[in-house]
Amino acid sequence: MRKKLLTIATLLTTLFIILGVSGCSKKSNSSNSPTAKSLISKNFNKGIKNGHYTTEIKSKAMKENASLKGYFNGTSLINTDYSLTNKGKTQTESIWLTPDTMYLLLEQNKGKWIKTGASANNFDPDQVTRRFKPATFKSLNKTIAKSALVTTHANTYEVAYSGSSDEVWKGIENLIIDTLNTPGTQNMQIVQMINAGQPQNISVNYTFNKKTQALTKITINTNFTVNGSYDFSWNLKYDELGQHANLAVPTDIQKNAIDVSKQSK
């Protein structure tokens, strides 16, 4: 009998451990847990002040893949690496920006950086900088705050939306358009194409520090079609938020870049 009791006790202990582990990640339903609305409204705008970003769009039918990655501070683009692959051919650009100087590395430069006196403000139309403006996410945040689920983890809260709402699609359209446009350009055909897109699914995830409730990561993904013929996949990620307030152009680039503004005089 004692052996059976010990066996039962062991099974119960194992069951409690399993239940305890599975309870480490759960949907927040208690009154003590923050809501999606409170997490977003109190922490989103101040959390997107600086950081690292990655965005990419792919179309197998069009054989095209465009990507941007780099760093931002405030609403300013500080660094970006741009890549566009179309039908097997790839075009790349790397850029560093200060308030009054642009450093540029093109494929035809053969590894040499050039710099010009063109200001970052003139270089960067709204098409480049708006992805770093909290106002760009206003309508999106308002929509997902109504239906997103909050999941509690050991050290984080995760606000997650999954669906194909037209309102959410409208909230991310401009971000998708900006991914397809080369930095500093605006193609109206791209605008019309994305505006005609039909989302198949959209996922939006915001990660907040559980202790401070600071926003630490944003990921947005969608698959959509255009005119029922072309399939696209698009993703956007912001991470390392709040960690890049003192970004600067690397010293070796500043020192060795060829000043083309002087050569043109």
CATH number of 169's domain: 2.50.20.20
Q: Tell me, what's the pLDDT at 24? A: 43
Q: Tell me, what's the pLDDT at 127? A: 65
CA neighbor of 80 nearest in space, from 258, 202, 247, 265: 247
Whether 156 maps to a domain, the answer reads yes
225's tokens: 């079609």
Whether 10 maps to a domain, the answer reads no
Beta bridge partners of 50: 73
Report the chain (265 residues): mean pLDDT per 10 consecutive residues: 42 38 46 88 94 92 87 91 88 89 88 79 62 93 94 96 94 86 62 84 97 97 87 95 93 92 64
Whether 51 maps to a domain, the answer reads yes
Q: From the CB of residue 67, how many other CB atoms can be counted at a distance below 10 Å?
A: 17
Distance CA 197, CA 131 (A): 20
In our burial notation (b when 16+ CB lie closer than 10 A, e otherwise), range 23-37 reads eeeeebeeeeebebb
Whether 11 maps to a domain, the answer reads no
Q: Tell me, what's the pLDDT at 197? A: 86
Q: Tell me, what's the pLDDT at 36? A: 96
Residues contacting residue 256 through CB under 8 Å, at least 6 positions apart: 112, 113
Q: How many domains does the chain have?
A: 1
Whether 5 maps to a domain, the answer reads no
| Sign of the alpha-carbon dihedral angle for 201, 237, 41, 43 | positive
| Sign of the alpha-carbon dihedral angle for 19, 23, 28, 30 | positive
Distance CA 91, CA 64 (A): 11
CA neighbor of 226 nearest in space, from 57, 13, 33: 57
Whether 240 maps to a domain, the answer reads yes
Q: Tell me, what's the pLDDT at 180? A: 73
Whether 89 maps to a domain, the answer reads yes
Instruction: Name the residue range of residue 233's domain.
Output: 35-263
Q: Tell me, what's the pLDDT at 159? A: 97
Whether 8 maps to a domain, the answer reads no
The answer to whether the CB of 178 falls within 8 A of the CB of 131 is yes
- Bridge-based pairing of strands 89-97 and 102-106 is antiparallel
pTM comes to: 0.81
Residues contacting residue 187 through CB under 8 Å, at least 6 positions apart: 180, 181
